[in-house]
Structure 1
Amino acid sequence: MTSAPMRKDAARNRQRIVDVARQLVDEGTPLQLNDVARRVGVGVATVYRHFPTPEALMETVAAPGLEALVARAERALTEEDPWNALADFLDVTLEAQLTDPSLTIVRAAPDRVLPRTEELTATLDSLAGQLLDRARAAGAVRGVVTWDDLLPLMCGLAFAAQVHADDDETRRETGRRYLGVMLRGLRG
C-alpha cells in the first residue's frame, strides 16, 4: 500500500517546520514542538501531524547531513590509500559535526525514532567500519580499535571543540588538533 501524495500546502508547512527547526538547532536552541509551531505560524497540531516527537524532527533535520556522510564514506572506500581514506573521512565527519549540531545530537542519541535515520546510521556505521577494517588490514591502524570505539570518540571530539572555542574557525582548528591527536594514537 502506498500513501497518498502530500497536499501542496501540507508539504509547504512541513518544509517550513523543518526550516525553522534547522534554524533553532543551528542557534543551539532545544527543539520544542510548541515553539516551532509558534515560529512557523501554524497550530501545534500541524507540527505534531508531521513530527510526533522532537526526536523525529531532529532526525529529519539531520538526514541531509547523514546522507552526505554516507556518500562521502562510499567515495572513501574507492580511494587507493586506506589510511588516507579513513583519516580524510574522519576529518570530513568532524567538520560536519562542528557545522551541523544535529548530527552529533542524533549520533549520540541512544535510539532512532525514524526508520530512515536507522537505515542511514546503520549504513554509515557499516561503511565507516569497512574503512577502519581496510586501514587495519593494510597495517595502518592498531588492531584493537573498532568503529564502536571511534564513534563515541568522534562525538567527544566535536563536543570538546564546541566547549573549548567561542567561534566557528577556532572550533574547527581545535577540532582538527584534537582529531590529529586521535589519529596519531590510531596509527599502527
Structure 2
Amino acid sequence: MDKLSVTLVTVTRRDAARNWQHIIDTGRAFLAAQRPLRLNDVAREASIGVATVYRHFPTPEALLETLARPALQDLVAYAERALADDDEWGAFAGFLTVGIDAQLADAAVQPVFAAATHELPETAELVGRLDALTADLLDRVRAAGLIRPGVEHADVVRLMCGVVFAASVHATPAERAALTRRYLDVVLDGLRAR
C-alpha cells in the first residue's frame, strides 16, 4: 500500500470512530430526554447520514444494547466480586442494590434486561452471565439459610424490576434513588429468613 492509501484508510477509520461515538452520544441524549430511539431521528439529530447510522447499528435494539453494554459489564464485574465475599447476605443485597442503581442511572439497562431476545451476541452473553451470577448469589444465601424458603431466581428478578418500576412511575426523578432504596429495603426484609 502506498503512503496516500494508508493515510486515506487512517482518516476513514478515524471518521468511522468519530461517527460511532457521535451516534452513541446522540442515543444517550435521546434516552435522557425519554425520546424513542428511532434510527432516522438519531441520524437527523446527529447530522449523520441515515446509511451511516444503519451501518453501525442495524436496528434500534442494537443501539440500545450498545448503550447498555458498559453498565452490564460493570454489573458482571460487581457480581463476580460479590461471589468472593464471605458475607453471603451482604453480597446478595449489595448486588441487588447496585443492579437497581444501574437501572436508575442508565435508561438503556432496564429495557435490555426486560427484552426476551437480544440483537447483539455480546448482549445475550452479558445478560446470560448476569442471570447465572444472580442465581449463584441466590444459591449462596439459600445454602446459608439466610433467605425465605421457596424464593426462586425468577422471583428475585421480578421483584427487582418491580422496585425500579414502582420508583420510576410513582416518584419524581429527584425522589427515585431514595424511594428505590426504601422499596428495596422492604423487599430484602421480606426475603430474609427469620
Task: Name the TM-score, length of structure 1 as normaliser.
Answer: 0.94
1:76 aligned partner, one-letter code: A
Q: CA deviation at 1:18?
A: 0.9
Of 142, 158, 169, the residue aligned with 1:163 is 169
Q: CA deviation at 1:167?
A: 2.4
**Consecutive unaligned residues in structure 2, runs of 5 or more:** 1-9
Distance 2:108 2:93 in 1: 22
Counterpart for residue 4 of structure 2? none
Distance 1:167 1:17 in 2: 25
Of 97, 105, 112, the residue aligned with 2:103 is 97
| Cα root mean square deviation, aligned | 1.5
Matched, 1:36 2:36: no
Matched, 1:119 2:125: yes
Aligned length: 184
Q: Percent identity?
A: 54
Counterpart for residue 174 of structure 1? 179
Larger Rg: 2
Of 148, 155, 158, the residue aligned with 1:152 is 158
Aligned residues of 1:108 and 1:152 also touching (Cα < 8 A): no
Q: CA deviation at 1:143?
A: 2.8
**Consecutive unaligned residues in structure 1, runs of 5 or more:** none
Counterpart for residue 145 of structure 2? 139
Of 71, 82, 90, the residue aligned with 1:76 is 82
Q: CA deviation at 1:108?
A: 0.9
Q: CA deviation at 1:120?
A: 0.4
What's the secondary structure of 2:31's corresponding residue?
helix
Q: CA deviation at 1:150?
A: 1.4
Distance 1:96 1:10 in 2: 29
Of stretches 148-157 and 82-91 in structure 1, the one that deviates more from structure 2 is 148-157
2:26 aligned partner, one-letter code: V
Which deviations, in whole Å up to 9, do the C-alpha atoms of 1:28-75 show, x marking residues without a partner?
Answer: 111010110011111111111111110010000000000010011011
Counterpart for residue 7 of structure 2? none
Of stretches 150-159 and 41-50 in structure 1, the one that deviates more from structure 2 is 150-159
Of stretches 148-157 and 16-25 in structure 1, the one that deviates more from structure 2 is 148-157
Task: Name the TM-score, length of structure 2 as normaliser.
Answer: 0.91
